[in-house]
Chains A and B, each alone.
Chain A
């Protein structure tokens, strides 16, 4: 059934259709509506789940960890400062190999206090061992929650679904809401082999000496690497049932392109307008959207950029003293492929500053006018 949903409610509907069993969350703008709606659904008896009210995001993730350790399907949602407060437990969830799914509404980090979007909150969680998706519309929000559980439970890793604050979270779009029966067929109940069970007592996360510790890290990394293949396979299963196609990357007008805008999140959709306009003028340009940040699809990005003349990486985030974060990772992925195409790194739209087609035209113009970048960051829209 087609419904008009804001991004936040697309998350709630996705979690409900996934038949989550435990929800523990703390309200934070711009995510609050996610849990508000879920709390109503649970209170109305429309979802058989425990709704645990907690006093902080740290506790929310702790409750999800406890629930998931017993084999329950656990869900939470947060944003910015809330995600940062969870940081310690993000490691615990991932390294404990718990298939928790969390929606994070990308909000810039304080100070100055802000509620508007950029990606520094979730990108700061890069090395916690979570799978990270960056989505671009509300349909993808809903679908990625359902897909996220399927994937998480296959590879035993938690999944973070990141969406832009307000641009998606509070914007209504037409969303195809799948039938419960179809979702049930795609996502059967979870019954893990490894779980907390009073009949078979074991200790979780106990003292692990140095002669044992490293192999757990190795296994965690291997699971992350394998998850690339599993993402492709799971997206295939999803497409068969629901007819919508997703992957590690999304390409737009890339086939014969010479120039590429490399994007993530909703900027990708604004870029389409720019690409269509430039194509009208005969500029062979396309968009490569990075949908999965961890595991990082370095090989796939290198393959997509092979033979192109120039690429313009657009980051709504920054690693201070280095560059945009996607830019840095993509540059690293090309090095051992012997690829030396001019790769421009733009930082734009921090703290929710609007990114319009005009700004994106400016980015392309800059890239066209320069042979190679001379700086790690080309700042867009800073009042210098």
Chain B
């Protein structure tokens, strides 16, 4: 995956603060994937690369690389919409930490 997370900026003193409550850079340091309890896992033997999961992912945490759908686990919150929408039922939902 061609992804480099941005740097998290810590506001330690007043002079560090932006004018308004805004991030100092993009938000790619903010790994919302840490919220996830359930992890979608794609079974590539059954996957037909239809892109339905990519289309429905609300984050979007599904990306297409080398003509294949992939889950970006940095940002996938584990909502399970892809699991539910997959027409081939090839995405399983596995508990994190097991």
Contacts and interface: CB of A to CB of B under 8 A. Distances in A.
Interface stretch (B18-26, B67-75, B83-91): B18-26
A202 B26 contact: yes
Interface in B25-52: 25-27
A201 interface: yes
A105 to B, nearest CB: 28
A215 B11 contact: yes
A-B pairs with the 3 shortest C-beta distances? A97-B20, A201-B26, A203-B23
A113 interface: no
Nearest to B27: A203
A156 interface: yes
**SS of A interface (majority):** loop
A163 to B, nearest CB: 28
A156 B24 contact: no
B1 interface: no
**SS of B interface (majority):** loop
A336 interface: no
A156 B17 contact: no
B21 A194 contact: no
29 contacts: A95-B20, A95-B21, A96-B20, A97-B19, A98-B20, A194-B18, A194-B22, A202-B22, A202-B24, A202-B25, A202-B26, A203-B23, A203-B27, A204-B22, A204-B23, A205-B20, A205-B22, A206-B22, A206-B23, A206-B27, A208-B21, A212-B11, A215-B14, A215-B17, A216-B20, A216-B21, A218-B14, A219-B14, A219-B19
A193 B20 CA distance: 11
Contacts of B17: 215-216, 219
Contacts of B19: 97, 156, 193-194, 219
Nearest to A193: B19
B21 to A, nearest CB: 5
A156 B19 CA distance: 8
Interface of A: 95-98, 156, 193-194, 201-206, 208, 212-213, 215-216, 218-219
Nearest to B24: A202
B24 to A, nearest CB: 7
Contacts of B24: 202
Contact of A156 (B11, B20, B25, B26): B20
Contacts of B18: 194
A95 B19 CA distance: 10
Nearest to A219: B17
Contacts of A96: 20-21
A205 B23 CA distance: 8
Contacts of A206: 21-23, 27
